[in-house]
Amino acid sequence: MKIRTLTKAALLCAAALILGWIDSMIPLVPSVPGIKLGLSNLALLYAVFYLSPLLTVLIMLAKVGLSALLFGNAVGALYALAGGILSVSVMLLLHQNRKISVIPISMFGGIFHILGQIAVGTVLLGIRPMLVYAPWLLVSGLITGTLLGVCARGVFYGVERFEERRNA
């Protein structure tokens, strides 16, 4: 692995941690636990599009593990791990079709992240509480996934323009 690629992966992991920490301080809907912007997924989206699938998965695992150690707990890590595995898997799968842009990939990533969390919640809390929260969580995953996809499209455009100028 090239040093440049390893450095990008480390920076993306650090960015994901910082964005996740910032995200944890922004209460979107206080009455519905678990609804967040998912800012750290910007780093994972970048990895999906510009790094290998293996590095993308490793960044997600490092982000979940380090976040649990630094800011969270074991139960929160279970929710994040389930959501992360499903989300990254779906985004990598969709990205194989190069005709699908970052916005729908991000939307599906948000929805599948929530589905992973709902699965863990069902095991830990039972199906009844999750039936109450699931619609709210899924709508939030769709909305935040769309917003993050729009942001990522802008970031990708800027990065590509920077690379073009640097190589010119």
Tokens encoding 121: 């919640």
Is pLDDT of 34 > 70? no
pLDDT band at 6, cuts 50/70/90? very high
Contacts of 34 (CB under 8 A, 6+ apart): 79, 117, 133, 137
Which band of pLDDT confidence, cut at 50, 70 and 90, is reported for residue 166?
confident
Sole residue written with tokens 């970048």: 46
Instruction: Report pTM.
Output: 0.90
41-50 vs 102-125: helix crossing angle, rounded to 10: 130
Across the chain, mean pLDDT equals 91
Domains of the chain: 3-167 (1.10.1760.20)
CA-nearest of 112, 119, 106 to 39 is: 106
Q: How far apart are CA 153 and CA 57, in angstroms?
A: 21
CA dihedral 82, 84, 87, 91 (to 10 degrees): -140
Confidence (pLDDT) at 154: 94
The torsion of the CA quartet 76, 78, 82, 87, rounded to 10 degrees, works out to: 30
